[in-house]
Amino acid sequence: MTLEEYNEAVKKIVAEQQKIAQSTAQLAMSGQANPTSAEFTKIMTSQWALMQQMAKLNTDLMMGIMQPKK
């Protein structure tokens, strides 16, 4: 993965997190942002997956696994 690919992956993750934030806010306003809500649980599971992806990207970056631009 090049640094450009890393940056693009981070942008996609951040965009997805923004969508999750909007969905969570809508659920909160309707009183459904709680662990008993299936939709809320699904959203939080998606958020956890994104956090794991970000952690892996950052670990790869710190470990120097990035490839030079071709």
Kindly provide the b/e burial profile for residues 9-31, where b requires at least 16 CB atoms within 10 angstroms of the residue's own CB. beeebeeeeeeeeebbeebeeee
Q: Which domain holds residue 30?
A: 3-62
| Residue 67 located in a structural domain | no
Q: How many domains does the chain have?
A: 1
The pLDDT tens digits of the residues spanning 22-69 come to 999 999 999 999 999 999 999 999 999 999 999 999 998 888 776 666
pLDDT of amino acid 62: 84
- For residue 8, the model assigns a pLDDT of 95
Task: For residue 52, count CB atoms less than 10 angstroms from its CB and return exposed for 0-12, middle for 13-18, buried for 19 or more.
Answer: exposed
Report which residue type is found at 48.
W
Is 13 inside any structural domain?
yes
